[in-house]
Copies of this chain bind each other. A is one copy, B any other.
Amino acid sequence: MKRKVTLKQIAKELDVSISTVSKSLKNSPEISEDTRLKVQAFAKLYNYKPNNIALSLKNKKTKTIGIIIPEIVHHFFATVISGIEQVANEQGYNVIVCLSDESFDKEVINLEMLANGSTDGFIMSLSKETQQKKDFHHLQEVINQGMPIVMFDRVANEILADKVIIDDLLAAYQAVNFLIEEGRKKIALITTVDYVSVGKLRTEGYIKALKDHNLPIDENIILKIEDIDNCSDVIEKLIAEQKIDSVFAVNELFAVVAIKEALKKGIKIPEELSVIAFTDGIISKFSTPTITTVSQNGVKMGRKAAEMLIERLEAEDEEEERYRTEVIETNLISRESTQT
């Protein structure tokens, strides 16, 4: 087991100083060609690679981006990470991933953990609990210390920082419009509880679309679901008791459950019931029928977030405090669960 070789060891072995070794490896003109080549040959032989930790300490830069997200077992977040990783990689950065598990406390712990030197900046999406408590002091503290944060998807208006979002309201509006233009009148909404920022915005888009077309807002066909695991009962009830002709769901899961319950009752999709879901993931592509969705393009969000963060990290001029909010466009992917 040959441990990693250091400058000091090379210096000792070749009977020169550490500085000489360092300079030689950096092809400094200060060093004669003789010693330079000698050192380089030796370094190559022993496979010398500079120690990242030492470099980080010296440079006060880790070349590492911290990612904090609610969970990873969720296709959308996975795609965002993928996007972040792509540009991080291109620019010589590494990513260190922490999961808040939708818990405020874990989010705080992770953030503070990584803020003590481990990363140069953060890309994050808030946990549900954080959004509910509206407590963002941990973010503010990190920002005050001079670490840039880029927030995506679940962002906080209260925090001044760069952000990458989609226009949830508009996208929902367009999706519901699509259903209306298809001739649907009784459009059910299956959404989350209101403290989830994106859920709320999508609900607003739904309502706006109905209003703009003079359709009534019927609370009986608006479902706000808290517990995602046991949603099938309430959804089944909705379909059984209300004479709806279409469904707009704020995520794939709600949509696919609705479809399943409808099919059980012999309801034809899309003829009798048209379905659109938010978030274009695996499920929509492969369910039967395939589901028309609003595509969020997580990869693009991730790429954009990483670009913004790195740009800020590498800006010489520290004090340019103009925060940007980038809006990623969505598009409706038409599949079998709708008619037109």
In A73-123, the 8 Å CB interface with B consists of 73-75, 78-79, 81-82, 85, 89, 94-99, 106, 112-118
Not counting A49-B116, A52-B116, A94-B96, a sample of 4 additional A-B residue pairs whose C-beta atoms are within 8 angstroms of each other reads: A52-B113, A85-B97, A253-B286, A263-B288
Residues of A in contact with B (beta carbons under 8 Å apart): 1-4, 47, 49-54, 56-57, 62, 64, 71-75, 78-79, 81-82, 85, 89, 94-99, 106, 112-118, 141, 144-146, 253, 256, 259-260, 263, 281-283, 286-288
List the 6 shortest-distance A-B pairs measured between CB atoms, nearest first. Answer: A288-B288, A53-B117, A96-B96, A51-B117, A52-B117, A256-B286
Q: Is the beta-carbon distance between A2 and B73 smaller than 8 angstroms?
A: no
> How many copies are assembled?
2
Q: Is the beta-carbon distance between A97 and B99 smaller than 8 angstroms?
A: no
6 contacts between A and B (CB under 8 A): A51-B117, A54-B57, A71-B82, A73-B75, A96-B97, A260-B288
Q: Kindly report which residue of chain B lies nearest to residue A288, judged by CB atoms.
A: B288
Partner of A51, one of B73, B106, B116, B146: B116
Partner of A288, one of B64, B74, B144, B287: B287
Q: Kindly report which residue of chain B lies nearest to residue A96, judged by CB atoms.
A: B96
How many Å from the CB of A193 to the closest CB on chain B? 22
How many Å from the CB of A177 to the closest CB on chain B? 27
Q: Is the beta-carbon distance between B94 and A2 smaller than 8 angstroms?
A: no
Q: Is the beta-carbon distance between B73 and A78 smaller than 8 angstroms?
A: yes
Q: Give Cα A300 to B264, complex, Å.
A: 34
How many Å from the CB of A8 to the closest CB on chain B? 14
Partner of A73, one of B82, B253, B259: B82
Knowing A2-B144, A73-B78, A73-B79 are in contact, say whether A114-B99 is a contact too (CB < 8 A).
no
Q: Kindly report which residue of chain B lies nearest to residue A65, judged by CB atoms.
A: B96
Please name all residues of chain B whose beta carbon is closer than 8 Å to the beta carbon of A253 when the two chains form the complex: 286
Q: Is the beta-carbon distance between B94 and A95 smaller than 8 angstroms?
A: no
Please name all residues of chain B whose beta carbon is closer than 8 Å to the beta carbon of A259 when the two chains form the complex: 288
Knowing A146-B3, A288-B260, A288-B287 are in contact, say whether A97-B81 is a contact too (CB < 8 A).
yes
How many Å from the CB of A160 to the closest CB on chain B? 13
